Amino acid sequence: MRESVIYQDILQEGIKLGIEQGIEQMTQEIATKMINKGISLEIIVDVTGLTLEQVQQLQAQQHTQPE
């Protein structure tokens, strides 16, 4: 059975959203590793494309998580 055009559009949008979320999560994981290695926030912002505020938020989360 052939899916409708609307179904295909919804499916493609879902795939696109999933990919974007995966990229964002991976970028945050990379930034977190860089923070843990002591790399400057400015370099992390430059390399990852995250905003300074996002990197600072990740840094704050690292200080509040139990080890």
pLDDT of residue 21: 97
pLDDT of residue 63: 79
Q: For residue 54, what are its two tokens?
A: 């996002």
Higher pLDDT among residues 66 and 39, named by residue: 39
Q: How far apart are CA 58 and CA 38, in angstroms?
A: 13
pLDDT over threshold 60, residue 1: no
pTM above 0.85, yes or no: no
Q: Average pLDDT of 40-65?
A: 94
